[in-house]
Amino acid sequence: MASEADNENRSRLLPTLSENNYPEWRRRVVMLLKHKKLYQHCVDERLPSVNSDSRPSAADYKIIDANAETCNLIAGTLDSNTFTEIFDDDETMENAHLLWNKLTKRFASSTFNNQARIWMRFCRITYNSSLRSFISEIRQCLNEVISVQVEVGTPTLAFTILTNYRRIITT
What is the predicted pLDDT for the residue at 86?
A: 92
Highest mean pLDDT among 6-15, 100-109, 127-136: 100-109
Range 101-117 average pLDDT? 84
pLDDT in tens, 40-91: 999 988 777 666 567 778 888 898 899 999 999 999 999 988 999 999 888 8
| Residue 84 pLDDT | 92
Phi, psi (degrees; rounded to nearest 5) at 133? -70, -35
Rounded mean pLDDT, 130-151: 84
Q: pLDDT class for 1, splitting at 50, 70, 90?
A: very low
pLDDT over threshold 60, residue 171? no
Q: Could you give the CA distance from residue 61 to residue 56 in angstroms, rounded to a whole number? A: 7
Report the percent of the chain where pLDDT is more than 90.
26
Confidence (pLDDT) at 70 = 95
How much is the average pLDDT of 148-165? 78
For the chain, how long is the longest CA-to-CA vector? 74
Residue 35: pLDDT band with limits 50, 70, 90: very high
Q: Can you give the three-state secondary structure of 35-88, one letter per residue?
A: HCCCCHHHHCCCCCCCCCCCCCCHHHHHHHHHHHHHHHHHHCCECHHHHHHHCC
Instruction: Quote the CA–CA distance of 48 and 59 in Å, as a whole number.
Output: 9
